Amino acid sequence: MRKSKLLIVDNEPDINLSLKIFLEENSFDVDTFEDPIIALDNFRKGIYDLLILDVVMPKMHGFELYREIRKIDSEVKICFLTAGEICYAAYTDIFADNIFIRKPIQNQDLVKRINNIISSSISLGYQ
């Protein structure tokens, strides 16, 4: 059985490393980037089952990265990782609740959320 392939973009190196280690221990194949512009430059259509984007990052926030990735791949599933109440509250009217993963989150809850998003047939996000 093929491992689900994830791309995580978060400007915090410790978060990237801990997520990568934990998710790979739970049968995911994980690529990470700290810089959203480099992530965008390296993104290729059809490689990933799910992208997990931090919302607040320097250079380009997660919603901008989302819009740019959608120009390349309109089908890939994308969710947002956020700790910010203000940011989350400001965008819940635009994005469905199930595409936000709130920090902090328990490891096993994260695995469940990721598996649910990947297995969902619902197209997440907006155009």
- The residues spanned by each domain of the chain are 4-119
Stated pTM of the model: 0.86
Work out the burial of residue 106: count CB atoms within 10 Å of its CB; fewer than 13 is exposed, 13-18 middle, 19 or more buried.
Answer: exposed
pLDDT at 85: 58
45 has a pLDDT exceeding 80: yes
With beta carbons less than 8 A apart as the criterion, state whether 76 and 45 touch: yes
Architecture of domain 4-119: 3-Layer(aba) Sandwich (3.40)
pLDDT reported for residue 82 = 79
More confident residue, 121 or 92: 121
